[in-house]
Chains A and B, each alone.
Chain A
Amino acid sequence: MKQILLAASAAIILSAASASAADVKPAVVFDMGGKFDKSFNEGVYNGVEKFKAETGISYREFEVTNETQREQALRKMAQRGADPVVGVGFAQGPAMEKVAKEFPDTRFTIIDMVVDLPNVQSVVFKEQEGSFLVGALAAAASQSGKVGFVGGMDIPLIRRFACGYEQGAKHAGASTEVIQNMTGTTPAAWNDPSKGGELAKSQFDRGVDVVYAAAGGTGIGVYQAAKDSGKLAIGVDSNQNYLHPGTMLTSMLKRVDVAAYNAFKGAQDGTWKPGIQVLGLAEGGIDWALDEHNKGLITPEMQAMVDKVKADIIAGTITVHDYMSDNSCSY
């Protein structure tokens, strides 16, 4: 009898616990790249999966396939009581602005974009700072004095990466030559590894020996080409050093996983706050990757140089020009 009572009370306690845990019903709306793009969306996916693994709270998800579905998906999440709702990518900005107004009691978080509403948390990154760091590193590692950049789709955001990279490379060596290519002008450019590889090879033919890819899934081809040609490559968004240890110089880290995790976690423990969060080097939202896969490539001098540049950017003695502040890369 006693045991039954114990079991029953345990069951009640357990169900009470799960009831309180069910209070947050997080949801995430991935963008067109899809959640397994090995880069931006996948970073968010890793963040929310981490939340799920830690708390046992499952989340709703949706991957949009056309322009109109963004608004539809965000609204549907809110209608079904999801809270908070995380939108991935700048393209969801206008849609979230509409939907967040319709559901003022639902908490929204948008990554890579600013939506100025009392129930929206906007998380943006200073990609130019991280690109500056890896640019300096690329120039330091280059024997030929020529470094390359392969962008994904030709949009202002990617030019911001390119511009920061160029500044960093020139900072480390004023005579460094930066050769830039964009993979394409359509969203297919985010997922075209063969073209990425071709672009990288043509840059190698022109003397480039370190190449930085900010191109989503296209980067995979760039890294492979670097490995095949014995050149160095730099990863982006997630830590991609493990892909080809020995030829991956480093990765520019954009911690979208942390942003997504924090949005869910903050909503769960009540620390979620609306407003703009600009994550740069100082906030730890942007960084460069140093791990067991690339430590053989980074000499102590290079590390000291990058640490100094990083400290200078944080302290404000180096200011990195943001392409998107005036849509030009004149610094």
Chain B
Amino acid sequence: MRVISGTVPRWVDVGLIPFINILLAFLASGLIILLIGEDPIEAVRILIWGAFGTEEGIGYTLYYTTNFIFTGLAVAVAFHAGLFNIGGEGQAYIGGLGVGLALLLFDNSLPFILILPISIAASALFGAAWAYIPAYLQAYRGSHIVITTIMFNFIASALMVYLLVNVLIQPGQMSPESREFAQSAWLPFMHEAFAWFGVEITRSPLNLSIFWALVCCVLIWGFIWRTRWGYEIRTVGFNETAAVYAGINPKKIVILAMCVSGGLAGFVGLNEVLGVHHRLLLNFQLGYGFAGIAVSLMGRNHPVGIIFASLLFGTLYQGGAELSFDMPKVTREMVEVVQGLVILFSGALALMIKPTVERIYFILASAAARRASAAEG
């Protein structure tokens, strides 16, 4: 006979509750779509088909997913140390600046085999540097990390605009964008990579950086749960006083966690600048840093959960675009409402249904246990 303990099993917490949350979000969205006079079932069909129905759709979905994995991981690492990194947006932006500067310097002189590690290092370094300052201020000056990281988003934005409008802009060009990188330095698109093996797929912005995103998931899993640093990060996150007692210096951990977090966010720049746009431009990071918070919350700060949550957000982004394409009444603001509801239900209201679900689970579980013991007896 099983003993009913005070906690629900893990699958309820990481599987069932998020699933119910998403279902609630879609229910609410369906009501709104019904309200504006469109068919919600048809809307869901278009959304799913738009995200997975065509090679191009899948490509776009996975391309968005790549960005969300990076920012989701970034938020998760900071979260394990008990820090709320709202600055993913700015760190991604500056990470892109790192890639852009590296490419503008080296794209004509170095082979791709060197460009790639340099770009990865540059994006991580720049992203980490941008996170280091708020981390330092939090650790040694007590300035709250939420406030400083938000402010650093604006500073990043102002810095990028200054650089692109005044310094890096291609002369005689209308848009504030740098010159295009030499084609030999581009990170190959997925359709190009497939073509090497003789398989033809439709072109999309999906590029090889998705593999780097998956590698990062494995690395971060190992980092958080299999290294001393990860252990220290989690200890500080659980209980800072206990961490001090255990001989851990929380100040150093704050800086470590934030730098890893910023570096991960910086990889968005890798996907966008090196993989898709092949030039430095404004606002390529728009929204991914903030969505990363929701991705991480929904994925319960675990790399596997983050992959699934990223896929969901990728689906919403790509399917949502398709939705506003095919349903004239569904404007882009409507799509944002649907995305916002998903964030609301699985982020802010994540714990709303938890007590109810747990109660139902215990009732069912104890009923099952009674039946089992009755059968035994």
Contact = CB atoms under 8 A, between A and B. Distances in A.
A187 B283 contact: yes
B157 interface: yes
B344 interface: no
Contacts of B294: none
B162 A185 contact: yes
Contact of B321 (A60, A69, A93, A324): A69
Nearest to B322: A76
B332 A63 contact: yes
Interface string A65-91: 111110111001000000000000011
Contact of A156 (B162, B169, B205): B169
A93 B284 contact: no
Contact of A73 (B175, B277, B325): B325
Contacts of A330: none
A169 to B, nearest CB: 23
Contact of A67 (B169, B174, B284): B284
A140 B335 CA distance: 48
A155 B175 CA distance: 8
Nearest to A63: B332
A66 B324 contact: no
Nearest to B331: A63
A94 to B, nearest CB: 8
B328 A112 contact: no
Interface residues of B, number: 34
A185 B287 contact: no
B325 A156 contact: no
Contacts of B175: 90-91, 93-94, 113, 155
Interface in B19-63: 60, 63
B362 to A, nearest CB: 43
A72 B286 contact: no
Given A155-B165, A185-B162, A186-B161, A67 B176 contact: no
A68 B63 contact: yes
Given A62-B324, A93-B174, A327-B171, A154 B60 contact: no
Given A68-B63, A93-B174, A156-B174, 10 more contacts: A63-B331, A63-B332, A65-B332, A67-B272, A68-B60, A72-B60, A155-B175, A324-B172, A324-B174, A327-B169
B157 to A, nearest CB: 5
B162 A90 contact: no
Interface of A: 34, 60-69, 71-73, 76, 90-91, 93-94, 112-113, 153-157, 185-187, 324, 327
B171 A186 contact: no
Contacts, number: 71
A316 to B, nearest CB: 23
B165 A67 contact: no
B281 interface: yes
A93 B205 CA distance: 17
A155 B176 contact: yes
A187 B158 CA distance: 11
Contacts of A324: 172, 174
Interface in B296-336: 321, 324-325, 328, 331-332, 335-336
B161 A154 contact: yes
21 contacts: A62-B325, A63-B324, A63-B332, A64-B332, A66-B283, A66-B287, A68-B276, A71-B205, A73-B321, A73-B325, A90-B175, A94-B279, A112-B174, A154-B161, A185-B157, A185-B158, A185-B161, A186-B154, A324-B172, A324-B174, A327-B169
B165 A154 contact: yes
A185 B154 CA distance: 9
A68 B174 contact: no
A112 B277 CA distance: 21
B371 to A, nearest CB: 53
A93 B180 CA distance: 13
Contacts of B158: 185-186
Nearest to A91: B175
A106 B158 CA distance: 39
A64 B325 CA distance: 10
Given A73-B325, A156-B169, A156-B176, A68 B161 contact: no
B286 A67 contact: yes
Contacts of A90: 174-175
A67 B321 CA distance: 13
Contacts of B279: 94
B247 to A, nearest CB: 44
A103 B48 CA distance: 27
A263 B206 CA distance: 33
A157 B177 CA distance: 13
Contacts of B165: 154-156
Contacts of B284: 67
Given A68-B276, A185-B158, A76 B174 contact: no
Nearest to A157: B174
B157 A186 contact: yes
